[in-house]
Amino acid sequence: MIPQGVTSELDMREVVPPEAPEFVQHVTAMMMAGRGDELPVSALPVDGTFPSGTAKWEKRGISEIVPIWEPDICIQCGNCAFVCPHSVIRSKVYNQNHLKDAPEGFKSAPIDIRGFPETLYTLQVSVDDCTGCTLCVEACPARSKEETGKKAINMGLKETIAEAEKENLRFFETLPVNDRSRVDFSTVRGVQFLEPLFEFSGACAGCGETPYIKLLSQLFGDRLLTANATGCSSIYGGNLPTTPWTVNSEGRGPAWSNSLFEDNAEFGFGMRLAADQLLAEATRLLRLLQADVGDELVDEILSADQQTETRIRDQRERVAELRRRLVALETEPAR
């Protein structure tokens, strides 16, 4: 007999968490729920652009087994984070003072570097984004001396740790982002501390491409310019309604665009020419305004060496100062 109404007291889980941005809550979530046809045209962006960094709200939870970190065995090599196809495994180093508000059970270990007695290391897993590919376990070289077959990272049942790890992840994300200028880019160990700006894609479990894309986003950060050719990378890279291309802690991210079929060389060349043209025009305007914004600042900007992260940071500070002076010029009373 069919009941007159719904009798269950269970509610469907929200498609995206309440802390998701407004656009994700009202547009992206509708598409993810298969209700995109109900959206009015007015809800969609006028210029066709969608926000980046939206794949992180699409918690798929497709794997019943997830990596579990063993701090006492770990040698902090970064291999597991390096090979993870979905940027699920993250590492940070931080001062021990940051642990005062840590959840019970939050894992950490002293950093394996001499001369930093107050510095701790944490390897954190985003369990709802893991696909269970086990590449991290295969890549781990550290083995327990007491327990045969046990490594520094092992697959375990998600249901036993899920809620605790979600709380740990929320706390981990509040820890300060490691300074790029103090990271050794030439080693796997160093790269693990760089923010990945390509995360939680819908690529197949164990994908062999996405670790390299993630690595590019770590090495070049928000300066990365990607001319994408059609293929898997155009699907997991820009498949509506979400994208794994994201922004860093400062709100800046890589530029990514896809060109149909295999013409990305020409497509990328066009992007390069456009960037060169913008630089030439900016240089011309800066010279015209040199007397108003300051000869020294203009000369420093145009002659700056930007070969290292520290010098890139210095250049960005100069440009920020230039913006302040330009705003001041606009607000000055007419003479």
pLDDT in tens, 146-171: 999 999 999 999 999 999 999 999 99
32 and 124 belong to one structural domain: no
206 and 306 belong to one structural domain: no
User: Is the distance from CB of 200 to CB of 56 less than 8 angstroms?
Assistant: yes
71, containing H or E segment: none
Single pTM value for the model: 0.89
What is the tally of helices (H) and strands (E) in the chain?
12, 7
201 and 231 belong to one structural domain: yes
With a cut of 90, say whether residue 4 has pLDDT above it: no
Residue 12 lies in a domain: no
**Measured torsion, CA atoms of residues 76, 82, 88, 90, in degrees rounded to the nearest 10:** 40
Confidence band of 209 (pLDDT split at 50, 70, 90):
very high
169, containing H or E segment: helix 162-172
State what percent of residues in the chain have pLDDT above 90: 82
What CATH number is attached to the domain comprising 26? 4.10.780.10
What CATH number is attached to the domain comprising 134? 3.30.70.20
Residue 3 lies in a domain: no
29 and 130 belong to one structural domain: no
Per-residue CA distances from 189 to 53, 82, 124 (Å): 25, 9, 15
Signed CA dihedral, 10, 16, 19, 22: sign only? negative
217 and 328 belong to one structural domain: no
136 and 231 belong to one structural domain: yes
Tally of structural domains, the chain = 3
246 and 328 belong to one structural domain: no
- What local confidence, expressed as pLDDT, does residue 334 receive? 61
- What local confidence, expressed as pLDDT, does residue 116 receive? 87
- In DSSP terms, 90 is beta-bridged to 124
249 and 180 belong to one structural domain: yes
Residue 293: which of 313, 285, 317, 314 has the closest Cα?
A: 285
Residue 130 lies in a domain: yes
141 and 257 belong to one structural domain: yes
Residue 247 CB neighbours (<10 A): 15
- How far apart, in whole angstroms, are the C-alpha atoms of residue 256 and residue 220? 13
Residue 57 lies in a domain: no
217 and 316 belong to one structural domain: no
Residue 59 lies in a domain: no
Quick check: helix, strand or coil at residue 307? Answer: coil
Domain that holds residue 94: 65-265
- What local confidence, expressed as pLDDT, does residue 3 receive? 83
Residue 40 lies in a domain: yes
Q: Tell me the two tokens of residue 46.
A: 């006028």
328 and 208 belong to one structural domain: no
Quick check: helix, strand or coil at residue 210? Answer: helix
Per-residue CA distances from 107 to 91, 132, 217, 307 (Å): 12, 21, 27, 36
Confidence band of 335 (pLDDT split at 50, 70, 90):
low
Name the average pLDDT for the chain. Answer: 93
Residue 281 lies in a domain: no
For residue 201, how many C-alpha atoms fall within 13 Å in the half-sphere facing its CB? 29
90 and 234 belong to one structural domain: yes
Q: What angle do CA 4, 5, 9 make, to 5 degrees?
A: 145
Q: What is the mean pLDDT of residues 251-276?
A: 90
